[in-house]
């Protein structure tokens, strides 16, 4: 049974942090559902989802991608099941999956019934694409009997009527006047129609979503449905694009909503390896204080005219070197004495790098001065040693009462001092 990843160094500390975080960002109150052991809504932590890009009938490739997503920190994985050979593969996939699996169904209600029979943990259903109401009722009844929740959603690109030409013309006329307002109204109305179907079937284990490619539209749409429904919300931006641009669009929308307490599970969608979706989802939740880190946090000062080493390369090398450490040590790489001391005071391990040498601090205490050639290995050794001390319970992470005294400025090649020494 899958569950939200816990912190390795102290589970009690994690629970206390979650309580404190709940006070910092009050969450919107919703019903709670259970997806294969991962709780969504209520007071459950915000979970991260992603979707495989493999053909589901290719069992080995699909399982390999699910495992890669789970290793990256994904809590729930969705797979597409457009054909019967895809649902036929589900039992073998479920037997090997370390996380709950959602079956994505759109047009064929038979695929949903087959997925339920296979034992999936949730169904993604689009009632609007299934013309026969009796077929939708059969899917809902099957999920109710097995205790399987259903997600339904609306997307900006599919809310305008397509078959009824007169209704479509009226809607498009409204959209020309105020596109955003009328699109959101249509989204809410369609979700209300869907909810009446579930209410008629006395089925309440439902998650809803309202996606758009426009970040501002996503924010407004989710705020609207959060005021209308008490159901858990699946946050996402549709068609976000490649990571280079999609992450900006996604984080702008999802970060804003989560900071308002709106949202119970998230998927950041990219046209790329889905592991990138999980990486950025984790970073978003960690940055908002809504999830504990399970690996080191790396911070570095921006480059400027005071930098006298290749700080960008050093930062990239340190990032690679920290892979595999499972304790969330905060590591700072600073290139001068101006902002470095203040910005690194919250760091567990910090290095101030200058021309030819670097000074390493561990929670405010200077431990060593190393040559530029030895910076990478020396910093790595200090981080590993500190992480081991944390795991043994000898020290605690994130002590904020440390003070770092700025070192004397390092001279330039011509012997001049770049800035005067700062002393209190």
Q: What is the DSSP letter of 233?
A: B
Q: Are residues 275 and 302 in the same domain?
A: no
In a domain, 195, yes or no: yes
Q: CATH number for the domain including 181?
A: 3.20.20.20
In a domain, 111, yes or no: yes
Is residue 7 over pLDDT 50?
Answer: no
In a domain, 423, yes or no: no
Is residue 416 over pLDDT 80?
Answer: no
Q: Are residues 190 and 318 in the same domain?
A: no
What is the tens place of the pLDDT at every residue in 122-139? 999 887 777 788 989 999
Q: What is the mean pLDDT of residues 25-37?
A: 90
Percent of the chain with pLDDT over 70: 85
Burial of 100 (0-12, 13-18, 19+ CB in 10 A): buried
For residue 189, the tally of other CB atoms under 10 A from its CB is 12
Closest CA to 231 of 259, 273, 272, 265: 265
In a domain, 318, yes or no: yes
Which residues share a beta bridge with 38?
A: 35
Closest CA to 121 of 90, 143, 100: 100
In a domain, 419, yes or no: no
Q: Are residues 210 and 357 in the same domain?
A: no
What is the tens place of the pLDDT at every residue in 105-126? 978 899 999 999 999 999 998 8
Q: Is 211 helix (H, G, I), strand (E, B) or coil?
A: strand
pTM of the model: 0.83
End residue of a domain, out of 287, 309, 344: 287
Greater model confidence, 222 or 157: 222
Q: Are residues 251 and 228 in the same domain?
A: yes
Is residue 188 over pLDDT 60?
Answer: yes
The reported pLDDT for the residue numbered 411 is: 54
Q: Is 346 helix (H, G, I), strand (E, B) or coil?
A: coil
Q: Are residues 87 and 215 in the same domain?
A: yes
**Cα–Cα separations (whole angstroms), residue 125 to 198, 230, 295:** 12, 19, 36
The reported pLDDT for the residue numbered 380 is: 95
Q: Are residues 208 and 103 in the same domain?
A: yes
Q: Are residues 370 and 224 in the same domain?
A: no
In a domain, 292, yes or no: no
Q: Are residues 263 and 134 in the same domain?
A: yes
Is residue 226 over pLDDT 60?
Answer: yes
Q: What's the number of domains the chain is made of?
A: 2
Residue range(s) defining the domain that contains residue 309: 297-391
Is residue 401 over pLDDT 70?
Answer: no
Q: Are residues 305 and 262 in the same domain?
A: no
The reported pLDDT for the residue numbered 408 is: 53
Q: Are 49 and 73 in contact (CB under 8 A)?
A: no
The reported pLDDT for the residue numbered 18 is: 47
């Amino acid at each position: 049974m899958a569950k939200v990843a816990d912190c390795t160094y102290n589970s009690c500390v994690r629970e206390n942090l979650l309580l404190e975080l709940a006070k910092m960002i009050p969450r919107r109150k919703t019903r709670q559902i259970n997806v294969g052991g991962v709780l969504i809504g209520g007071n459950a932590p915000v979970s991260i989802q992603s979707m495989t890009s493999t053909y589901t009938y290719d069992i080995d490739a699909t399982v390999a991608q699910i495992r890669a997503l789970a290793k990256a920190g994904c809590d729930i994985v969705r797979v597409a099941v457009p054909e019967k050979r895809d649902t036929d593969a589900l039992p073998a996939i479920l037997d090997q999956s370390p996380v709950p699996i959602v079956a994505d169904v759109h047009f064929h209600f038979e695929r949903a019934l087959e997925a339920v029979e296979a034992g999936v943990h949730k169904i993604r259903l689009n009632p609007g694409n299934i013309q026969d109401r009796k077929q939708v009722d059969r899917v809902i009844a099957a999920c109710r009997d097995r205790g399987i929740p259903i997600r339904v959603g609306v997307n900006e690109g599919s809310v305008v009527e397509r078959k009824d030409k007169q209704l479509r013309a009226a809607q498009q006329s409204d959209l020309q006047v105020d596109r955003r307002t009328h699109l959101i109204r249509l989204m809410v109305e369609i979700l209300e129609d869907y909810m009446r179907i579930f209410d008629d079937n006395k089925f309440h284990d439902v998650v809803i979503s309202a996606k758009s490619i426009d970040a501002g539209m996503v924010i407004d749409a989710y705020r609207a449905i959060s005021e209308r429904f008490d159901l858990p919300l699946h946050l996402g931006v549709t068609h976000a694009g490649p990571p280079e641009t999609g992450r900006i669009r996604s984080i702008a929308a999802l970060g804003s909503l989560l900071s308002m307490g709106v949202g119970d599970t998230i998927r950041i969608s990219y046209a790329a390896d889905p592991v990138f979706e999980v990486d950025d989802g984790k970073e978003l939740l960690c940055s908002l204080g809504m999830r504990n880190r399970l690996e080191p946090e790396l911070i570095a000062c921006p480059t400027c005219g005071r930098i006298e080493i290749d700080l960008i390369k050093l930062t990239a090398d340190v990032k690679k070197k920290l892979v595999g450490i499972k304790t969330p040590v905060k590591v700072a790489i600073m290139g001068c004495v101006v902002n470095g001391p203040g910005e690194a005071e919250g760091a567990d391990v910090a290095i101030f790098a200058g021309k030819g040498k670097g000074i390493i601090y561990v929670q405010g205490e200077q431990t060593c001065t190393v040559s530029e050639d030895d910076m990478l290995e020396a910093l790595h050794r200090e981080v590993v040693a500190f992480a081991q001390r944390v795991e043994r319970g000898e020290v605690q992470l994130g002590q904020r009462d440390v003070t770092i005294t700025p070192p004397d400025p390092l001279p330039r090649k011509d012997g001049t001092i770049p800035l005067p020494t700062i002393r209190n």
